[in-house]
Structure formats: structure tokens, C-alpha cells
Structure 1
Amino acid sequence: MEPNKLAGILSIILGLIFIVCPVLSTATLSIFIGLSLIFFGIALVVSGFTAFNIIIGILAIIVGLVFVFNIAALSFIFGIQFYVIGIILVLGGIVGLVSDSGISKIASVLIIILGIISFALGGFSIEQPLFAIILIGVALIIEGIGLYLIEV
């Protein structure tokens, strides 16, 4: 089986698991990200005793521990990410409307609308932590279908 088709099938399966079992998926993903950050922080601290490596390593370890012991931190980070993307899209759309760039006015309005939608998704993600995991599940399914249908 081609690698793209296999990756597509695995992505669809993982997306369905995220949608069907969002609580378990949130906990697993949060713990996995936390452990990754902890190991990354330890590797940074022991790789070189520069001030930068030690500071970033300690911060990575602290954030990793937060993810391992506080599952809600993951949805908070997703919410913040949606907020930042929303703000950037709205500002980019406004710049497209008022400038004489090559961006059409319709595209700029659509970018502003997408920014507002992204901002709303951030609010939903912070209010309801499982919302972010369900969005990830849907994204994985869409990506999996795309990977499966791609001809190499």
C-alpha cells in the first residue's frame, strides 16, 4: 500500500477516535505533549550549559508538567491559538481593504469573516475543552481523506 494511502487511513481512524472518545483523546494528547516537552527540556539542559539552554529547558519542563497534570491547559492553549489567528486574519483583512495591494476587496472581507469565525472558535475552545479535540478530529479526517485521494 502506498504511504499516502496508509497515512490517510491512519489519519481518518485517529480522527474518528478523537471524535468518539474526546475525553480520553484530550487526556492522551495532553500527556503526550507534556512528556515530549519534559524530555525536550531535559535534553536542552544537559546538551549545553549555556544560560539560554538552561532557561528554555526549565521553561519546557515546567510547561510539560502543566500539560501532564492539568489536561485543561491544552484546550486553553488551543483557544489562545484561535484568538491569535483570528486577530491576525482580521487585521490582515482590514489592511487589504484600506491598502492598494493586489488583494481584492472580496477576499479581504472573506479574510475578516474567517478571522471572526476563528475568534469565536477560540471562545468555544476555552469554554468547552472537548471542542478543540473534536475540531482536531474533524481536521484529521479531512486531512486523511485528502491523503487517501492523492495520487503520487
Structure 2
Amino acid sequence: MESNQISGLLSIILGLIFIICPIFSTAFLSILIGLSLVFFGIALILSGFSAVNIIVGILAIIVGLVFVFNITALSFIFGLQFYIIGILMVLAGIVGLISDTQIGKLASVLIIVLGIISFALGGFSIDQPLFAAILIGVALIIQGVRLYLE
């Protein structure tokens, strides 16, 4: 088996787990999003020592740590995570556009677009937090099938 097929099978299996066990998936995503925000905040602070980078980076780290260490309290507001991530991504993209950091302008625009998409996904997830876990499961299965067939 090639590495694409193995990655595809793992993606399909993970997608099925997300669909079958959405509560577990929600907790897993809370930790994953929290760690991502912590690393994003650290990278943002280290990318340029401007005041805006440091403020947004510290906010991202604080929110990330809350998501990692307070899973049960955040499980019912999972949709709000998308809003917060969307806002932080839009802020980081704007900072990348107006500052002379090493982040490219195209990358900054893509970060803004992804932030807006994340914000929109929060609107869908706020009514039903498990919707996001199922949506991610479906996306993983589609990606897994694509990888397996390559």
C-alpha cells in the first residue's frame, strides 16, 4: 500500500469516528483547537515583535489554554470556538497585511478568508454543537476517499 492509500484509510476511519462518536470528537476538537491556538499565538508573537502581534498572540494563547484545560465547560459552547478562531484569524490576517512581517500578503488574505469561513461555520454550529463534529467527519471521509483513489 502506498502512503496516500494509508493516509486515506486513516482519514476515513477518523471521519467515521467523528460521525459515530460526536461527543468524543467535540472534546478532541476542543483540545486540538486549543493547542492550535497556543502554537498560533506563540508563532504570531515570534514572527514580529510589534505591539499588535504580541496582543493578538497573547489572546490566542489564553483562549487556547482555556479550550485545552476546560473541555467540559466548553463542550456546550463548541460553536463559539469557531467565532473566536474566526475573529483571531481575521485579526492576524489584517496584522499581516498592514505590517512588514515575514508573512506574505497572499497568506494574510487567505488567513482572513479562512477566518470568515470559520465565523460562518460558527453560525451553523451554535444551534447544534455536534453539527461541527459530524461536518468534520464527512469532510474527513471525502478527503480519505480522494487520497485512497489517487
Aligned to 1:7: 7
Is residue 11–residue 144 contact of structure 2 (8 Å, CA) maintained in 1? yes
Distance 1:5 1:22, change over 3 A: same
Using the TM superposition, give the Cα deviation of residue 15 of structure 1 relative to its aligned residue in structure 2, in angstroms.
0.2
Unaligned runs of at least 5 residues, structure 1: 82-118
Is residue 39–residue 61 contact of structure 2 (8 Å, CA) maintained in 1? yes
Aligned to 1:75: 79
Runs of 4+ more than 6 Å apart: none
RMSD: 2.8
Distance 1:62 1:135, change over 3 A: same
Range moving further from structure 2, 134-143 or 44-53: 44-53
Using the TM superposition, give the Cα deviation of residue 147 of structure 1 relative to its aligned residue in structure 2, in angstroms.
1.3
Unaligned runs of at least 5 residues, structure 2: 86-119
TM-score by length of 2: 0.61
Deviation per CA, 1:18-69, whole angstroms, max 9, x where unpaired? 0111111111111111022123323443565321321121121133134332
Aligned to 1:85: none
Aligned to 1:42: 42
Aligned to 1:86: none
Aligned to 1:26: 26
Deviation per CA, 1:61-113, whole angstroms, max 9, x where unpaired? 133134332234442344899xxxxxxxxxxxxxxxxxxxxxxxxxxxxxxxx
**Counterpart of 1:71 in 2: which secondary structure?**
helix
Residue identity over aligned pairs, in percent, reads 70
